[in-house]
Structure 1
Amino acid sequence: MKLDRIDRKILDILQRDGRIANADLAEQVGLSASACLRRMRALEEAGVISKYVALLDQRKIGKRMDVFVEISLVGQSNEVLEAFEKAAARSNEIMECFLMAGDADYMLRVAAADPVDFERIHREELARLPGVARMKSLFAIRPIVRKTSFHLGPE
């Protein structure tokens, strides 16, 4: 789907406030409410908008630590990769999982309350992931930049 200036403006506003009323959104982008709603539906149907969520403050819910975990697997067969990816997707503790190029096969981001909580996550979740040959945990001191919206270019 080719995004025009109005689509980008709609997406920019929705990334900042997913609960904005359609009438307010339409006014901000210079469309009628019905035209704005049609555009939003088209963006949803095309998969540009995949879902609407509430973003929680990680610290306020007691998850003060970000831990990045490099995972190296025992092999690179489809079976090993698929088993690991399915197990990682089922985990409630893994916030993000990326297939990597380089030394590690995967990079995970885990949110933990404290080192004791991370130890629990390590023992109960990470150590049980299939096909893991090696894990290396990196503890973040504090986030500097954490964005949830994409820059969509000039309007």
Structure 2
Amino acid sequence: MTNIPEIDRRILRELHRDGRQPNAQLAERVGLSASQCWQRVRKLEKSGLIQGYTARINHDALGAPETALVEISLERNEGYQLEDVCRRLAQFPEVLEAHITSGEFDVFIKVAVSGTRGYEQFLKDKLYSIAGIRHSRSVFSLRCYKSETSFVP
């Protein structure tokens, strides 16, 4: 792992816990002056360690309470580019994640849907409209126990 000073790790952990906290509160929690803390946060942003800030969205409230986990295999030797397929998948707003994978399948996606009918619509209108997809296998998440976008070692 990268050699990151412990004070920066504390800042990252605090921002991961609450990215909206005021700089003065963050500084107090990590044991720095407000000025030192602000400078360190800006340095972490500039270096790319902090890539941005976001809000967690309640998909239930938006009408897409279910999560489908989908493994996708592509046709072989047909000239379909894996990256092109992933870029197409990433354009669909309900696709929360898209990964190129090792093993039996080529791509893994995580999709927010409104039940089986919403998933059927996603398959017909979006997934199967992408050339080169040979096979997909999906499961529904019954309950999520952890959902994080990052971690600080």
TM-score, structure 1 normalization: 0.90
Partner of 2:99: 98
The alignment partner of 2:138 has SS state of strand
Q: Alignment length, in residue pairs? A: 152
Amino acid at match of 2:89: A
Cα distance change of structure 1 residues 27 and 76 upon mapping to structure 2, 3 Å threshold: farther
The answer to whether residue 48 in structure 2 is matched with residue 47 in structure 1 is: yes
Residue segments in structure 1 that go unaligned for 5+ positions in a row: none
Write the distance in 2 (CA, Å) between the matches of 1:28 and 1:106: 41
Shift of 1:149: 4.5
Write the distance in 2 (CA, Å) between the matches of 1:139 and 1:131: 24
Partner of 2:20: 19
User: 1:35-69, CA deviations, whole angstroms, 9 ceiling, x for partnerless residues?
Assistant: 11110011101111101011112223222111011
Shift of 1:130: 2.8
The answer to whether residue 39 in structure 2 is matched with residue 38 in structure 1 is: yes
The alignment partner of 1:50 has SS state of coil
Write the distance in 2 (CA, Å) between the matches of 1:144 and 1:38: 35
- The answer to whether the 8 A contact 1:68-1:138 is kept is yes
- % identical equivalent positions: 36
| Mapping 1:1-155, distance limit 5 Å | 2-75=3-76, 80-150=81-151, 152-153=152-153
Write the distance in 2 (CA, Å) between the matches of 1:60 and 1:148: 20
The alignment partner of 1:63 has SS state of coil
Amino acid at match of 1:10: I
Shift of 1:78: 7.8
Amino acid at match of 1:16: R
Runs of 4+ in 1 over 3 A off after TM superposition: 76-79
Question: CA RMSD, aligned part only?
Answer: 1.8
The alignment partner of 2:117 has SS state of helix
Shift of 1:77: 8.1
Structure of greater relative contact order (alpha carbons < 8 Å, 6+ residues apart): 1
Write the distance in 2 (CA, Å) between the matches of 1:114 and 1:77: 33
Amino acid at match of 1:126: L
Write the distance in 2 (CA, Å) between the matches of 1:78 and 1:144: 39
TM-score, structure 2 normalization: 0.91
